[in-house]
Amino acid sequence: MYGFLSHEDYLLHRSAKQATVDDSFVDEIAGSDHEKAIEMSNYFVQKSFEYLNNDPEAVIRHFNQAWLIDSNNHSVYWGFAIYTANHENNESALKYFDMALEKFDQKYVQSVVSEDRLLCDAAIGYASAYEDGGRMNDTYLDKAKELVSEINAQNAPPHCLALINAFSQLSVHTLKVGDTVGDFTVASIRLSPFVYGDGSQDFTTEYSGATTISGEYYWSEMFDRVCFTPRKEDAPKIPRLEEDTRDAAFCFSNTPFAQKVFASTLVAGSSGDGVKYLATVTIQNYAEIFAHKEASDFAELMSAVLGEN
């Protein structure tokens, strides 16, 4: 830190006065006790995040202190990557994510950052840099996909699920009956023989299975149905092929039952179009219909708990 990525470079270029100040600080905090150094380095990383949103100088100071105490602590580089992405740009943060990944060591984890959390944040960093650059640098996208493939989805933090889902999507052209997509299993695939000029085809995929998700329900005047948008962390539970570029929304196929279940709040018709309410729903028999380059998803509503999310 202090403008240096390499600790060795910093030691070579710092002044004699700065070296005295640094050595005095490290001796006072941890001395030659390696376990104490790990503990205190993690402590200053955590202190940095306490000031992340309101005191940039304190953030940088504490990250530098954590780095001086133990420059092998991957959490220092991880934290500085997060700070840099928030205050400069995603591309500038990548070198810190790379260093954090290179230095990752389980002994530094404790409560600071797990490997899956680090992989997730680094993947988001690379994906964001790819988007910021107008999707021109494919190496950033490839790196993001590589990092996502290493994440244990069961341990992934909620903010990473959307990215995992996006990179794990299947195409109707590679999908097979019996494949698992989200919490469902592919039951049938019907692909139109007609091919559009861009190479796309109409299709219908049907899935067996059921899942429970939370989100928002609303009346859609366009579909003349009750529809539902799952919250971000539940979106990976429902099928979504790469041909479907919309958000992860669907409508209930059993409209009369859905209207009855949501009757206490839902207003059908134009006056209630798009007004959203919270609920947790259990659905089954999911279907994706892709027609004329437009996707429509449907699921059978089994039960709902209104007002929960």
* Per-residue tens of pLDDT for the chain, all 309 residues: 566 666 666 666 677 887 777 778 777 777 777 788 888 888 888 888 888 888 888 988 888 888 888 888 898 899 889 999 888 788 889 999 999 999 887 776 654 457 888 999 999 999 888 878 776 778 888 898 889 888 877 777 777 877 776 676 677 877 889 988 889 999 999 989 888 877 788 999 999 999 999 999 999 988 899 999 999 888 889 998 877 766 779 999 999 999 999 998 887 766 667 789 999 999 999 999 998 778 899 999 999 999 865
Q: 181 and 220 in one domain?
A: yes
Together in a domain, 148 and 254: no
For residues 294 and 203, state if they share a domain.
yes
Residue 32 lies inside a defined structural domain of this protein: yes
* Whether 257 contacts 301, CB under 8 Å: yes
Please say which residue of 147, 164, 181 terminates a domain.
164
| pLDDT tens per residue, range 247-260 | 779 999 999 999 99
Q: What letter does residue 237 receive in the DSSP assignment?
A: G
**Domain check: are 47 and 149 in the same one?**
yes
**309 token code pair:** 């999310």
Residue 153 sits in the same domain as residue 181? no
Domain of residue 206 covers: 170-306
| 286 phi, psi to nearest 5 deg | -75, 145
Say how far apart CA 231 and CA 229 lie, in whole Å: 7
Does residue 156 sit in the same domain as residue 174? no
Cα–Cα distance measured from residue 131 to residue 182, given in angstroms and rounded to the nearest whole number = 25
Q: Which one of 164, 180, 204 terminates a domain? A: 164
Asked if residue 213 is part of any domain, the answer here is yes
Together in a domain, 18 and 138: yes
Residues 196 and 123 placed together within one structural domain of the fold: no
Residue 225's closest CA among 298, 294, 286? 298
Instruction: Report how many domains make up the chain.
Output: 2
CA 72 to centroid of chain Cα atoms: 27
CA distance 221 to 273: 6
Residue 43 token pair:
């402590």
Measure the CA–CA gap between 207 and 124, rounded to whole angstroms.
Answer: 30
Is residue 2 a part of any domain in this protein?
Answer: no
The answer as to whether 294 is a domain residue is yes
At 112 the pLDDT is 44
Q: Domain of 35: which CATH number?
A: 1.25.40
Is the domain of 264 the same as that of 203? yes
CB 205 within 8 A of CB 172: yes
Q: Are residues 186 and 59 in the same domain?
A: no
Tens of pLDDT, residue by residue over 84-119, are: 988 878 888 999 999 999 988 777 665 445 788 899
19 domain residue, yes or no: yes
Q: Are 9 and 30 in contact (CB under 8 A)?
A: no
User: Are both 157 and 186 inside the same structural domain?
Assistant: no
The residue out of 164, 183, 200 marking a domain boundary is: 164
Contact 151, 116 (CB under 8 A): yes
Q: Is position 1 within any domain? A: no
Considering the domain architecture, whether residues 27 and 159 belong to the same structural domain is answered as yes
Length of the chain: 309
